Amino acid sequence: MRTLTLTLSALMAMTGSASALAAEPDGSNRAAGNYVHGDFGPPRGDPIKAFLTEPPKVPAPTYRNYPAKVIVELEVIEKEMPISEGVTYTFWTFGGTVPGRFIRVRQGDTVEFHLKNNPNNKMPHNIDLHGVTGPGGGAASSFTAPGHESQFTFKALNQGIYVYHCATAPVGMHVANGMYGLILIEPPEGLAPVDHEYYVMQGDFYTTGKYREKGAQPFDMEKAIDEKPTYVLFNGAEGSLTGDKALTAKTGETVRLFIGNGGPNLVSSFHVIGEIFDRVQQEGGTKIQENVQTTLIPAGGAAIVEFHTEVPGSYVLVDHSIFRAFNKGALAILKVDGPPDKSIYSGKEVDSVYLGDRSAPNLAAVTKATKAASAGTLTKEDQIKAGQQLFTGTCSVCHQVNGEGLAGVFPPLAKSDLIAADPKRPVRILLQGLTGKVTVNGKDYNSVMPPMNQLNDDEVANIVTFVLNSWNNPGGRVSADEVAKVRAEGTAAKPAEH
């Protein structure tokens, strides 16, 4: 793969125009006193139509050593898409995706930018590219009504990885609805070849409903102003980069992530669990940092991280402000396949914990139970099967798949005397949480279990039914109505949002 890349770039260099082979001006081609750094002269050769990719793909390198005219066409599309399982949101998108299409050009290129506003859209839009030197980053020249197109031209004077976003009033709302993406302006010598390049962008989302509350959710401006997101996501949806949509690589390969943060509000503490970044261009700048565990990506900023894969497994990309990863969805997977190297890592894969309730096949029983419940035909077996899948996804992290808990830390659910004493108590614990000292099967535990606010009545009923019927617990079943009654009685303590 790597040798092929090198030959290709040599070939491109040879077939370029004669002037391309000559020493390239470094920006001093202007009249004396008019030096413009990054200006390599007028564009040469035929205009090139830029190939823009949908995330997480990245376009191939330009393989050019001369400045060209590049034509970029980007269409704004307002569309309703899933943001989480059973939850939809009206996104405003560049090119139909969140984040928008990835744009790749070279330093010194003259970019002719066409911004189209689909006739079916309601709102006017424009674009501000952080890589543009000029008023508003292009926003002033690209204000476009639905059914119209704007064009402006700029020279990409600075190399780097830059955010672009819509800057139409109210800007926060346009950005919060997903109007951001990345433009890579390659250094003149190009980036070093790697085996995989991927495009990931974090964003915070604000809905009037709670996290995972089903149905079409509208944007909530008050929450956005208060900076209290409902979702924090990579690439615009929960599960966008997990399960069969996970990023992939093999052992012994190099991976480069172009990782951006559209905001609108939060700063990201970007970390890949199980990996260390060999090279980081923090904030996309030119100086390299090495051996970094977690790097900060500002809202409206981006970074380039590179690492080499040694050992197979599922590597989890997170925002290490960790409640965002586990309670708001800021989680993606890089699946590395290949022969294990026990000298580097000998443990088993961590798949099951994270993938549990996110890949479609695993949720079959949950879907079946939901259908049965609305038809009035829900059986105890349906509940147990659905509860088991939900348990694996939500509870097994702490209480373990076998219900044994963790000695001294998390109480067991298996053959639990606490449950036997009051089989309805798990319902209250799920809804209200449990803090302080508690004795289970003769051992003391003093920990904090937060209320599981993301679970609805059906989910609580199914999980508790599963627990009651597993591991020598007393059996029985709990209905969604009973859960609703308990929910109405209790005063749930809200977890702190931040």
Partner 1 sequence: MKNAALLLAVATFSAHAADYVAVHGGTFASVLPADDKAADVNIAPYRLRSEPVTNAEFLAFVTAHPQWRRTQTARVFAEQRYLAHWSDDVTLGSNAAPDQPVVQVSWFAAQAFCENEGARLPTWNEWEFAAAADATRGDARKDPAWREAMLAWYARPNQTLANIGGVPNVYGARDLQGLIWEWVDDFNALLVASDSRDQNDPDRLKFCGAGALNLRDRENYAVLMRVAMLSSLKAADTTANLGFRCAKPGN
Cα 105 from Cα 68, distance rounded (Å): 9
Contact flag: residue 146 with partner 1 (CB under 8 A): yes
Cα 174 from Cα 93, distance rounded (Å): 9
One residue of 71, 171, 350, 401 binding partner 1 per CB under 8 A: 171
Cα 152 from Cα 114, distance rounded (Å): 7
Greatest Cα pair distance, the chain, in angstroms, is: 88
Contact flag: residue 475 with partner 1 (CB under 8 A): no
Q: What are the structure tokens assigned to 141, written together?
A: 């020249």
Closer to partner 1 by Cβ: residue 63 or 219: 219
Cα 146 from Cα 157, distance rounded (Å): 31
Contact flag: residue 140 with partner 1 (CB under 8 A): yes
Q: Give the footprint of partner 1 on residues 86-105 (CB under 8 A).
A: 90
Contact flag: residue 30 with partner 1 (CB under 8 A): no
Among 336, 351, 270, which residue's Cα sits nearest to residue 305? 270
Contact flag: residue 219 with partner 1 (CB under 8 A): yes
What is the nearest approach in angstroms of partner 1 to the Cβ of residue 78? 5
Contact flag: residue 473 with partner 1 (CB under 8 A): no
Cα 440 from Cα 399, distance rounded (Å): 13
Cα 167 from Cα 150, distance rounded (Å): 14
Closer to partner 1 by Cβ: residue 117 or 388: 117
What is the nearest approach in angstroms of partner 1 to the Cβ of residue 205? 13
Cis peptide before 99 (omega within 30 of 0): yes
Contact flag: residue 209 with partner 1 (CB under 8 A): no
The amino acid present at 332, given as its one-letter code, is A
CB 207 within 8 A of CB 231: yes
Cα 40 from Cα 38, distance rounded (Å): 6
What is the nearest approach in angstroms of partner 1 to the Cβ of residue 136? 3
- Residue 296, Cβ neighbours under 10 Å: how many? 14
CB 269 within 8 A of CB 320: yes
CB 93 within 8 A of CB 79: yes
Among 38, 156, 39, 146, which residue's Cα sits nearest to residue 105? 156
Closer to partner 1 by Cβ: residue 46 or 222: 222
Contact flag: residue 167 with partner 1 (CB under 8 A): yes
Checking DSSP bridges between strand 196-205 and strand 254-263, what pairing results, if any? parallel
- Region near partner 1 per CB under 8 A, out of 167-175, 374-382, 392-400, 428-436: 167-175
CB 271 within 8 A of CB 293: yes
Contact flag: residue 133 with partner 1 (CB under 8 A): no
Contact flag: residue 124 with partner 1 (CB under 8 A): yes
Closer to partner 1 by Cβ: residue 121 or 254: 121
Task: List the x/- string, 172-201, binding to partner 1 by CB under 8 A.
Answer: -x---x------------------------
Contact flag: residue 153 with partner 1 (CB under 8 A): no
Closer to partner 1 by Cβ: residue 146 or 298: 146
- Region near partner 1 per CB under 8 A, out of 21-29, 116-124, 151-159, 185-193: 116-124
Q: What are the structure tokens assigned to 481, written together?
A: 């109505």
Q: Which DSSP string corresponds to 147-168? A: TEEEEEEEE--S-EEEEEE--P
Task: List the x/- string, 45-84, binding to partner 1 by CB under 8 A.
Answer: ---------------------------------xxx----
Closer to partner 1 by Cβ: residue 173 or 246: 173
One residue of 31, 46, 122, 488 binding partner 1 per CB under 8 A: 122
**Number of residues in contact with partner 1 under rule CB under 8 A:** 34
Cα 169 from Cα 101, distance rounded (Å): 22
What is the nearest approach in angstroms of partner 1 to the Cβ of residue 219? 5
Contact flag: residue 218 with partner 1 (CB under 8 A): yes
What is the nearest approach in angstroms of partner 1 to the Cβ of residue 21? 41
Question: Counting Cβ atoms within 10 Å, is residue 199 exposed (0-12), middle (13-18) or buried (19+)?
Answer: buried
Contact flag: residue 139 with partner 1 (CB under 8 A): yes
Residues near partner 1 (CB under 8 A):
78-80, 90, 119-124, 126, 128, 135-136, 139-141, 143-148, 167-171, 173, 177, 218-219, 221-222
